[in-house]
Amino acid sequence: MPWDIYHQITEDDWKTFMMERNKPEMLVRREKASKSALQNKHPHRTGQKGYVRKRPEWINDGRLPPEAALTLSSGSSSVTSSLTTAPDRFKKFRSVEWILAHQVKNKEGKWEVDPNDKEAVNIAKMALEYIEEEGKGNISFTQGEDALTKAMGKKDHRGRVKATGGVNVGYKVAFGPIDRKLWREESLKIN
């Protein structure tokens, strides 16, 4: 039993914990959280570190350029970014960081997007193609759109943005102030 393994837990503590966890409102909450977790079709492979704390590792091993070091947290970085705003940084590195966060080491010790997640492999491939095309000037993206959203086939939810490496990183922080007129026009096209 848990109190045999973790000596700071008593049998009474465990019983109290189990009673709390099995209350009807907690069971409803757990079910809702389970359904929400199933919506994450492409879980990242960063472990508990997340994007912000993995970024220095990606820079140190050469998979991400030093200018990507800008973070949204108050933590300090030894590398200064030449990008002046968070939206500039997100626009340039978000797709690449999403790809890095979905990589695993293969048998040869090289990094690749997890081959077991075929959809993530396809998204990564398409995102890299869009990045290349944008670099050549062959395509451009509207507000709230980048190589990752294009590869995934849908824009980010306005309340939270994928692959940003921060808590409560919303649309405005990631993509800059919202052009309401453009947003409305885009919404009308979709509906």
Q: Count the neighbouring beta carbons within 10 Å of the beta carbon of residue 88.
A: 14
Sign of CA dihedral 26, 27, 32, 35: positive
Name residues whose C-beta falls within 8 Å of residue 120's C-beta, 6 or more positions apart in sequence: 42, 102, 113, 114
What pLDDT is attached to residue 183? 61
What pLDDT is attached to residue 182? 65
Name residues whose C-beta falls within 8 Å of residue 52's C-beta, 6 or more positions apart in sequence: 71, 72, 73, 75, 165, 166
SS3 of residue 104 by DSSP: strand
**Is the pTM value of this prediction over 0.95?**
no
What pLDDT is attached to residue 49? 83
- Low-confidence spans in the chain with pLDDT less than 50: 71-84, 191
What pLDDT is attached to residue 84? 46
Chain segment 119-136, per-residue pLDDT in tens: 999 999 999 999 999 889
